[in-house]
Amino acid sequence: MSGHYPFNGKASRVSVFAFFEKNQLSLELQEQYYKWWYDLAKNFVTQDADLRAARAVDFQHFPYGQHAERNFHLHDYKWATAMADLGAFISNVIFAKMSDEQQHKVEHDHEAMLKGLLAQRDKTPRPAPPEVGRYRHV
Protein backbone atom coordinates (compact mmCIF):
# COMPACT_ATOMS: atom_id res chain seq x y z
CA MET A 1 0.00 0.00 0.00
CA SER A 2 3.02 2.29 0.26
CA GLY A 3 2.87 5.32 -1.97
CA HIS A 4 -0.91 5.57 -2.19
CA TYR A 5 -1.33 7.95 0.73
CA PRO A 6 0.62 11.04 1.76
CA PHE A 7 1.52 9.56 5.15
CA ASN A 8 2.98 6.22 3.99
CA GLY A 9 6.68 5.47 3.87
CA LYS A 10 9.07 8.08 5.23
CA ALA A 11 6.35 10.69 5.52
CA SER A 12 6.36 13.74 7.74
CA ARG A 13 4.26 16.86 8.12
CA VAL A 14 6.23 18.40 5.26
CA SER A 15 5.42 15.58 2.84
CA VAL A 16 1.75 15.65 3.87
CA PHE A 17 1.74 19.44 3.42
CA ALA A 18 3.31 18.95 -0.02
CA PHE A 19 0.44 16.59 -0.89
CA PHE A 20 -2.08 19.24 0.20
CA GLU A 21 -0.18 21.92 -1.70
CA LYS A 22 0.13 19.79 -4.86
CA ASN A 23 -3.61 19.18 -4.84
CA GLN A 24 -4.31 22.82 -3.89
CA LEU A 25 -6.48 21.85 -0.92
CA SER A 26 -7.62 24.76 1.23
CA LEU A 27 -7.62 24.41 5.01
CA GLU A 28 -11.31 23.47 4.88
CA LEU A 29 -10.61 20.68 2.37
CA GLN A 30 -7.54 19.57 4.33
CA GLU A 31 -9.78 19.22 7.39
CA GLN A 32 -12.28 17.17 5.37
CA TYR A 33 -9.44 14.94 4.15
CA TYR A 34 -8.19 14.49 7.70
CA LYS A 35 -11.71 13.86 9.03
CA TRP A 36 -12.24 11.05 6.51
CA TRP A 37 -9.11 9.28 7.79
CA TYR A 38 -10.00 10.04 11.42
CA ASP A 39 -13.44 8.47 11.02
CA LEU A 40 -11.93 5.43 9.31
CA ALA A 41 -9.40 4.96 12.12
CA LYS A 42 -11.94 5.57 14.89
CA ASN A 43 -14.39 3.08 13.38
CA PHE A 44 -11.67 0.47 12.97
CA VAL A 45 -10.47 0.95 16.56
CA THR A 46 -13.97 0.70 18.02
CA GLN A 47 -14.69 -2.50 16.05
CA ASP A 48 -11.45 -4.28 16.99
CA ALA A 49 -11.49 -5.61 20.57
CA ASP A 50 -7.73 -5.29 21.15
CA LEU A 51 -7.47 -1.79 19.72
CA ARG A 52 -10.64 -0.69 21.49
CA ALA A 53 -9.15 -1.72 24.84
CA ALA A 54 -5.79 -0.09 24.16
CA ARG A 55 -6.50 2.93 21.95
CA ALA A 56 -10.19 3.95 22.10
CA VAL A 57 -9.29 6.68 24.57
CA ASP A 58 -7.16 8.31 21.85
CA PHE A 59 -10.29 8.90 19.78
CA GLN A 60 -12.38 10.61 22.45
CA HIS A 61 -11.20 13.98 21.18
CA PHE A 62 -10.99 15.34 17.64
CA PRO A 63 -8.38 15.73 16.19
CA TYR A 64 -6.14 12.81 17.09
CA GLY A 65 -2.49 12.99 18.14
CA GLN A 66 0.11 14.86 20.07
CA HIS A 67 0.03 17.80 17.66
CA ALA A 68 -3.76 18.09 17.65
CA GLU A 69 -4.98 21.66 17.35
CA ARG A 70 -1.45 23.04 16.93
CA ASN A 71 -0.64 25.38 14.10
CA PHE A 72 2.90 26.39 14.82
CA HIS A 73 3.92 27.20 11.23
CA LEU A 74 3.12 30.35 9.30
CA HIS A 75 2.28 28.13 6.33
CA ASP A 76 -0.71 26.52 8.08
CA TYR A 77 0.64 23.05 8.81
CA LYS A 78 -2.20 22.30 11.27
CA TRP A 79 -3.87 19.54 9.27
CA ALA A 80 -0.63 18.27 7.74
CA THR A 81 0.87 17.81 11.20
CA ALA A 82 -2.28 16.16 12.55
CA MET A 83 -2.46 13.93 9.44
CA ALA A 84 1.16 12.86 9.91
CA ASP A 85 0.36 11.77 13.50
CA LEU A 86 -2.83 9.96 12.54
CA GLY A 87 -1.24 8.54 9.40
CA ALA A 88 1.58 6.98 11.39
CA PHE A 89 -0.98 5.19 13.55
CA ILE A 90 -2.96 4.07 10.51
CA SER A 91 0.12 2.84 8.64
CA ASN A 92 1.78 1.08 11.55
CA VAL A 93 -1.25 -0.34 13.36
CA ILE A 94 -4.46 -0.34 11.36
CA PHE A 95 -3.09 -1.36 7.96
CA ALA A 96 -1.19 -4.19 9.65
CA LYS A 97 -4.48 -5.56 10.99
CA MET A 98 -6.47 -5.15 7.76
CA SER A 99 -7.05 -7.91 5.26
CA ASP A 100 -6.13 -7.41 1.61
CA GLU A 101 -9.81 -6.91 0.77
CA GLN A 102 -10.17 -4.23 3.43
CA GLN A 103 -7.05 -2.46 2.20
CA HIS A 104 -8.29 -2.48 -1.39
CA LYS A 105 -11.64 -1.08 -0.25
CA VAL A 106 -9.86 1.72 1.62
CA GLU A 107 -7.80 2.46 -1.48
CA HIS A 108 -10.93 2.62 -3.66
CA ASP A 109 -12.86 4.74 -1.14
CA HIS A 110 -9.86 7.07 -0.72
CA GLU A 111 -9.64 7.64 -4.45
CA ALA A 112 -13.36 8.50 -4.63
CA MET A 113 -13.13 10.81 -1.60
CA LEU A 114 -10.10 12.63 -3.02
CA LYS A 115 -11.87 13.14 -6.37
CA GLY A 116 -14.76 14.68 -4.47
CA LEU A 117 -12.44 17.07 -2.65
CA LEU A 118 -10.66 18.03 -5.86
CA ALA A 119 -14.03 18.88 -7.39
CA GLN A 120 -14.63 21.34 -4.52
CA ARG A 121 -11.38 23.28 -4.98
CA ASP A 122 -12.99 26.13 -6.93
CA LYS A 123 -15.56 26.71 -4.17
CA THR A 124 -12.92 26.94 -1.44
CA PRO A 125 -9.72 28.23 -3.06
CA ARG A 126 -6.43 27.95 -1.28
CA PRO A 127 -5.10 31.36 -0.20
CA ALA A 128 -1.65 32.42 -1.33
CA PRO A 129 1.08 31.57 1.22
CA PRO A 130 2.69 34.42 3.15
CA GLU A 131 6.07 35.72 2.06
CA VAL A 132 8.13 34.06 4.81
CA GLY A 133 10.63 31.25 4.94
CA ARG A 134 9.18 27.72 4.69
CA TYR A 135 10.25 26.48 8.14
CA ARG A 136 9.78 29.61 10.20
CA HIS A 137 7.80 28.96 13.38
CA VAL A 138 5.48 31.40 15.11
Spatial distance between the Cα atoms of 48 and 56, rounded to a whole number of angstroms: 10
Region 117-128: what's the mean pLDDT?
Answer: 84
Looking at the chain, list the stretches that DSSP marks H as alpha helix, in order from N- to C-terminal side.
13-22, 27-47, 49-55, 78-89, 95-97, 100-119
pLDDT at residue 71 tops 70: no
Region 127-136: what's the mean pLDDT?
Answer: 62
Region 2-23: what's the mean pLDDT?
Answer: 82
Region 56-79: what's the mean pLDDT?
Answer: 73
Spatial distance between the Cα atoms of 91 and 25, rounded to a whole number of angstroms: 22
What whole-number percentage of the chain has pLDDT above 70? 82
pLDDT for residue 1 = 45
Res. 70 pLDDT band, cuts 50 70 90: low
